[in-house]
Amino acid sequence: KGVRAIIIGQQRAMAQRDGVVMVGRDIGSVVLPDAELKIFLTASLEERARRRYGELIERFGPDNPALPSMEKVLEDIRRRDYIDRNNLQQAGDAVVINTDHLSISQVLEVIHRYLESST
């Protein structure tokens, strides 16, 4: 068995024991396709790059030479999107939430409402 197959088995066993929240690019489509509630968070390429760039500024500092340019961050995310489109699938029955104009607390509120309505 490959490492991936072992990990998927462990994730499925964990989900059977208790209610869990799992995060991952293929949790709803591969790991737990029968999950009660699947949430797929999305945001525009530009918004994701802006957020990531902000995280990198916090980590490295705005004047650090190790800080990549905004253009580099945008290109890295664009490349990752291309790989994901060709390798991963969003679960067809997932609730899609566009987070472009939502704060983290607002996203959590939306998820909480879906969770309450699914139980």
Q: CATH number of the domain that 46 lies in?
A: 3.40.50.300
What per-residue confidence (pLDDT) applies to 114? 94
11 part of a folded domain: no
4 part of a folded domain: no
Residue 26 pLDDT grade (very low, low, confident, very high; cuts 50, 70, 90): confident
CA dist., res. 46 & res. 95, Å (int): 22
Domain range for residue 48?
Answer: 36-118
Nearest-CA neighbor of 41 among 28, 55, 54, 57? 28
pLDDT in tens, 37-57: 999 999 999 999 999 999 999
pLDDT in tens, 61-85: 999 999 999 999 999 999 999 988 8
Tokens of 73: 């961050």
Yes or no: say if 30 and 90 are a contact pair by the CB < 8 Å rule. Answer: no
Residue 24 pLDDT grade (very low, low, confident, very high; cuts 50, 70, 90): confident
17 part of a folded domain: no
31 part of a folded domain: no
Mean pLDDT of 21-44: 91
* Number of residues assigned to the chain: 119
**Which contacts qualify for 69-72: CB closer than 8 Å, 24 or more apart?**
none
Yes or no: say if 47 and 100 are a contact pair by the CB < 8 Å rule. Answer: yes
Number of domains in the chain: 1
3 part of a folded domain: no
